[in-house]
């Protein structure tokens, strides 16, 4: 399989997940500004989840800029990442059903720990399949940002035991580290 097919598959699945996310939103009972204020928590969790998905999708695109070959390990690693991403609408709905739920907050953060672990699996599989692509290997082999993210997600999970509202907000704050994609990959791709 060529890398373009895997990228196209991912580019199709992530927008579907985003669409499912918006379908979970229910309009306010009273169509007014006051009514919209009443669903502010649902709108906030939707926005956070939407932009988290966009950040993952954008970084996925950048990570694949220098990829020359993929193998079965890459395909399955990418599939595992998509599997966990597909749970974002579900966990967002759980948080929406009870914004004060410790379980919902922790489940949301735990999902992003799983997404981070699957991201690292994909990263390692791409390095393994593209050993001859030096700029890719240099950018992905030792990726401190992925490790910092995992540690930060675990910290958010632990903090949410004491401040459950921090689960979703903390997850979003951690993901802001990823708004800027892999700089080395982007720079190397411009030189090609």
pLDDT per position as a tens digit, 50-60: 999 999 999 99
Q: What is the pLDDT of residues 114-152, one digit of tens each?
A: 999 999 999 999 999 999 988 888 888 888 888 899 999
Higher-pLDDT residue of 173, 141 = 173
pLDDT value at residue 80: 99
Query: What's the chain's length in residues?
Result: 192
Q: Which pLDDT score is estimated for 137?
A: 86
Res 41: pLDDT: 86
Q: Nearest Cα to 89, choosing from 59, 46, 38, 39?
A: 46
CATH number of the domain within which 172 lies: 1.20.1410
pTM of the model: 0.91
Q: Is pLDDT larger for residue 184 or for residue 169?
A: 169
Q: What is the number of domains present in the chain?
A: 1
What are the tens digits of pLDDT across the range 64-99? 988 999 999 999 999 999 999 999 999 999 998 888
The pLDDT score that the predictor gives to residue 18 is 96
pLDDT at 75: 97
CA 65 to chain centre: 18
Give the pLDDT confidence score for residue 83 in this predicted structure. 98
Residue 173 reports pLDDT greater than 90 = yes
Name the token pair of 38: 């009443």
Average pLDDT, the chain: 91
* Whole-number Å distance between alpha carbons of 98 and 103: 9
pLDDT at 187 over 90: no
Which domain range does residue 11 map to?
3-191
Contact partners, residue 150, CB within 8 Å, separation at least 6: 113, 116, 117, 120
Residue 30 backbone zone (phi > 0: left; psi -120 to 50: alpha; other: beta) = beta
């Amino acid at each position: 399989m060529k890398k373009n097919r895997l990228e196209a598959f991912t580019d199709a699945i992530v927008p579907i997940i985003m669409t499912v996310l918006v379908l979970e939103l229910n309009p306010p009972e009273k169509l007014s500004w006051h009514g919209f204020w009443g669903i502010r928590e649902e709108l906030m969790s939707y926005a956070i989840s939407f932009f988290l998905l966009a950040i993952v999708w954008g970084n996925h695109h950048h990570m694949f800029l220098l990829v020359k070959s993929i193998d079965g390990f890459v395909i399955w690693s990418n599939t595992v990442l998509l599997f966990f991403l597909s749970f974002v609408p579900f966990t967002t709905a759980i948080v929406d059903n009870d914004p004060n739920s410790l379980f919902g907050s922790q489940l949301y953060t735990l999902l992003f720990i799983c997404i981070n672990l699957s991201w690292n699996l994909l990263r390692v599989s791409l390095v393994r399949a593209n050993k001859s692509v030096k700029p890719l290997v240099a950018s992905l082999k030792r990726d401190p940002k992925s490790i910092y993210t995992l540690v930060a997600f675990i910290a958010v999970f632990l903090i949410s035991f004491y401040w459950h509202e921090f689960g979703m907000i903390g997850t979003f704050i951690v993901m802001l580290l990823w708004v800027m994609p892999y700089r080395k990959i982007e720079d190397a791709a411009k030189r090609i």
